[in-house]
Copies of this chain bind each other. A is one copy, B any other.
Amino acid sequence: MTETITNVLQQQLDKRYGPDAPVAGDAANPTLEVLLRHRTARNYLPATVSETELQLIIAAAQSASTSANFQFTSVVVIDDPEVRTRLSELAGGQRLVLDASVFLVWIADWSRNIELARANGHTIEATSYLDSALSSIIDVTLSAQNAAIAAESLGYGITFVGALRNNIDAVIDLLHLPEWTFPVYGMAIGLPDPTDPADIKPRYGQNVVVHRNTYTPPTEAAVTDYLTRINTYYREQELPEDWVKNRLAGRISTKESLHGRQHIRTTFHNQGFDLK
């Protein structure tokens, strides 16, 4: 691979892992560079994703693995400004829902398969079980991540918007989602503002997340090393330090920290999923 790609990939690895980063060397390639490049894009310039680009992004999504070819993915493209405004409100007033060139809502969709099975005289029982709902959510997530990589390969930035689940019933109403469908998250796609300081964010060392044959909890030293690296990142970004106190605790301590998502079980039931 060219020296440039190798160098860029190595810089990305160094930002993710610090001094213990893997060395890419000859294994570097342009796709690895796209995969490692990812950072959150919350501020967009007013550039337009073309229809052809959007079709390729969707084609990439549909090319992901899908359990038994069930193709559980549906995606709603939101280009009506009024729908964008409402979705932005429902997602806690997030400006990026308005500013992105493309805003997608990813749907775990059992309805097509159920319709086909019924039309051909088959009974429907497996869909009442938790695993069936999970399979469809896994499926749409494989697709959505392919879409993210496709968009990033075209020079755009993306952000997942899980906060759509804060007010999921209103999202279902707004998009007229039928029984046996479930909106999992939104995705903003647009041209990132280069003045946005968000950079490649440090992640846990591989010694924390990778296990061999059996699970081994991370050492205290490995966790401390990470907390030092992520807090240094926040300080350099002029963001509040202390990831545990200022971020983790606020999302884990109380059910109210779920901002409405503590009720999604009821929504699954209303949409047809018994989650037995």
A interface residues with partner B (beta carbon < 8 Å):
12-13, 16-17, 22-25, 27, 29-32, 34-38, 40, 50, 52-53, 55-56, 58-60, 62-65, 67-71, 73-80, 83, 107, 109, 111-117, 120, 122-132, 134-135, 137-138, 141-142, 144-146, 148-150, 153-154, 158-160, 162, 165, 175-178, 181, 184-185, 200-201, 203-204, 206, 208-215, 217-218, 223, 230, 243-245, 247-249, 251-255, 257-258, 261-262, 264-265, 268, 275-276
Closest 9 CB pairs of A and B: A31-B153, A22-B55, A131-B261, A141-B141, A145-B145, A35-B60, A176-B214, A62-B203, A122-B249
Q: Are A201 and B69 in contact (CB under 8 A)?
A: yes
Q: How many copies does the complex hold?
A: 2
Q: Are B114 and A252 in contact (CB under 8 A)?
A: yes
A25 CB → nearest B CB, Å: 7
**Bound CA span A38–B59, Å:** 11
**Can you list 23 pairs linking A and B with CB atoms under 8 Å apart?**
A12-B63, A32-B150, A35-B60, A35-B150, A65-B148, A65-B158, A65-B160, A68-B248, A75-B209, A76-B214, A117-B244, A120-B245, A122-B248, A126-B253, A126-B262, A128-B255, A129-B264, A129-B265, A130-B268, A132-B258, A137-B137, A145-B145, A181-B215
Q: Are B35 and A63 in contact (CB under 8 A)?
A: yes
Most buried by B among A37, A148, A268: A148
